[in-house]
Structures are given as C-alpha cells and as structure tokens.
Structure 1
C-alpha cells in the first residue's frame, strides 16, 4: 500500500518547521508577481498564509475581512495593489524578512 499525503498539509508542515522554506515561498510569490504570473503568486501566497499567520490573524494585521482575503488569494482573485502590499507587508513582518527587487543585466 502506498502512503500519500495531502500536498497542502505537506507544504504547511514544511513551512512551519523550516523558516527558510517559508521565506522561499514568499520570495517565489513576489517573483511570480513581478514576472506577470499573478495567478501563481496568489496561490503561493494563499498556501503561505495557511502555513504561517493564518487568514484570521492576517485579517487583523491588514484590517481587511478574512473572507475578502480568501477571495483575493483564490485562483480567480483580483487583489488591488494596496491589498497586495498589505498582505506582503504582514507576511514580511511575521517572518522578519525584507524584499528587494533587482534588475539582472541582459534580461528582458
């Protein structure tokens, strides 16, 4: 018999026990947004929120309703830049990290 685990649970457990993994998820979400892949970025952020701060605590930190945050980070969500900034800011604060964009010479 093959043992299987729910992917989301595996991601959540890894993010909880490995702060570097959680930080890499945040970095990947920011990179996806900057590379015009907003759907991918939203889904990564959703998994990261579930694995770290949780939607209720995020709602308190961002002063936005939890249900709205769930919708924003859904597959078809459409968060404003203000909301994205609030979400990234709350996650950065929770993880104690900064974000920095850099241009790679010769790219694009």
Structure 2
C-alpha cells in the first residue's frame, strides 16, 4: 500500500520535532529488518533518512553514492549486509543513540 503525500509529510514533520518519535522510527526500521520484514524496514529507514540526514549528506559522510543509497532503500533494493550495517551504524552515531538486540524465547519454551 502506497503512502499518501500528506501522510509522508506528517511523518517527516514529526520526526523533525519529536526526538522520541525519531528514535523509535530508527529502532522500528532496524527491528523490522531483523524480524525478516525487510521491505517495511527499508521503507522506515528511507523515511528516517529523508527526515533527518538526507541521502546527499549521508552519501558524503559514508563515502557512498546518494543514488546508490536511494536504490538500496528503495522498494526493489537489496542491500548487502556490510553496506546496510555500515549505514545503520552511521545513523546511530548521527542520532546519538545506541540500539541493542535482546533475545527472547517465543512461546512456552
């Protein structure tokens, strides 16, 4: 389902004014990817990047082509793990947050 322009603008505006929401968007993007929902994770991270650092600046700071980054997080993008985790690490530093993975057993055991 495609998001409407107004919805995207609302999300982008909130990311710029609500630090907790911004941090949750980054966390949710990474969690979605770790749980196997790569398309949702890429979409969340793409929105996060657009609303915070932007693809041009991210490319300059990571020595990556902005066009390559846009493709990486696009609907048909298939980022290599090395590139993806380098970008996530940079986004964490830029946001001054540290994400942690916690293992939990599903079900009764």
User: What TM-score comes out, normalization by structure 2 length?
Assistant: 0.90
Identify the residue that residue 75 of structure 1 maps to in structure 2: 75
Higher RCO (C-alpha under 8 Å, 6+ residues apart): 1
**How far, CA to CA, are the matches of 2:12 and 2:90 in structure 1?**
18
- Please tell me whether residue 98 in structure 1 is matched to residue 105 in structure 2: no
User: What TM-score comes out, normalization by structure 1 length?
Assistant: 0.90
Identify the residue that residue 86 of structure 2 maps to in structure 1: 86
TM-superposed CA distance for 1:32, in Å, is 0.5
TM-superposed CA distance for 1:105, in Å, is 3.0
User: 1:8-52 CA distances to partner (integer Å, 9 max, x unpaired)?
Assistant: 111111000001111101110111011101111001000000000
Give unmatched runs, 5+ long, in structure 2.
Answer: none
Q: How many residues align?
A: 105
SS at match of 2:100: coil
TM-superposed CA distance for 1:89, in Å, is 1.3
> What is the root-mean-square deviation of aligned Cα atoms in Å?
1.7
Identify the residue that residue 32 of structure 2 maps to in structure 1: 32
Structure 1 ranges of 4+ moved more than 6 A: none
Alignment CA distance shift 1:97-1:75 (3 Å): same
Give unmatched runs, 5+ long, in structure 1.
Answer: none
**How far, CA to CA, are the matches of 1:21 and 1:52 in structure 2?**
12
